[in-house]
Chains A and B, each alone.
Chain A
Amino acid sequence: DAKTTQPNSMESNEEEPVHLPCNHSTISGTDYIHWYRQLPSQGPEYVIHGLTSNVNNRMASLAIAEDRKSSTLILHRATLRDAAVYYCILSSSGVGSNYKLTFGKGTLLTVNP
């Protein structure tokens, strides 16, 4: 499985944008990029996913580099409720793949009031 690299931790201030980076230099053409987050004492929560084009939803935006070797999760206005561990995950969608999500350690985001 292709691996991702994320910073261990990041800090932001409330109501400011947050850019969470993820490197995935060994990504293959059929790998989707997923982002999940885990709030304290809860199970992970789906945030967004994409393949090649940038994606937007009500929670966040996903910016994917043209070569797909990196991506950035963008929270447009951080709130205290966004404090969580953010996981960047690749899953294969090619023939014979099992769509498995392999979680790393993620990035612990702290939001300061």
Chain B
Amino acid sequence: EAGVVQSPRYKIIEKKQPVAFWCNPISGHNTLYWYLQNLGQGPELLIRYENEEAVDDSQLPKDRFSAERLKGVDSTLKIQPAELGDSAVYLCASSLETNYEQYFGPGTRLTVT
């Protein structure tokens, strides 16, 4: 069974540029999560989807971050414009339902210069 797929794996951009990350969850998983992980820290939840609905986006900086999960499958996370402090690993995870174990992708390492 394929795991959670994320692309790109690495991205280097200049500050003020836009960037987008893509996630394909495990087939059949209704719940999708985006996390941010800074160096030396644990992942922090940005947004959680149940099917197409964003049910918890309280930690998403909405002035520059946006996310969508069209058709309740793939999801994209966008930053516009990127700032130096956005350099981090962006992780996508999925689970069968909200209270089930989460499966994480390998993450996208973003470097903003």
A106–B37 Cα distance when bound, in Å, is 13
User: A-side binding surface: helix, strand, loop or mixed?
Assistant: loop
Is B4's beta carbon under 8 Å from chain A?
Answer: yes
A44 and B104 in contact (CB under 8 A), knowing A87-B42, A100-B45?
Answer: yes
* B42 partner, pick from A42, A45, A91, A105, beta carbons under 8 A: A105
Is A72's beta carbon under 8 Å from chain B?
Answer: no
A105 and B93 in contact (CB under 8 A), knowing A99-B99, A100-B56?
Answer: no
| Contact flags B63-93 to A (C-beta < 8 A → 1, else 0) | 0000000000000000000000000000101
Is B111's beta carbon under 8 Å from chain A?
Answer: no
A91–B95 Cα distance when bound, in Å, is 15
**Closest A residue to B42 using CB positions:** A103
CB of B79, distance to nearest CB on chain A (Å): 19
A105 and B101 in contact (CB under 8 A), knowing A43-B107, A98-B56?
Answer: no
Residues on A close to B: CB < 8 A? 34, 36, 41-46, 49, 85, 87, 91, 93, 98-106
Residues on B close to A: CB < 8 A? 4, 40-45, 48, 55-56, 91, 93, 98-99, 101-107
Q: List 21 A-B contacts (CB under 8 A).
A: A41-B106, A43-B93, A43-B105, A44-B43, A44-B91, A44-B93, A44-B102, A93-B99, A98-B48, A98-B56, A99-B98, A99-B99, A100-B45, A101-B45, A101-B102, A103-B41, A103-B42, A104-B42, A105-B40, A105-B41, A105-B42
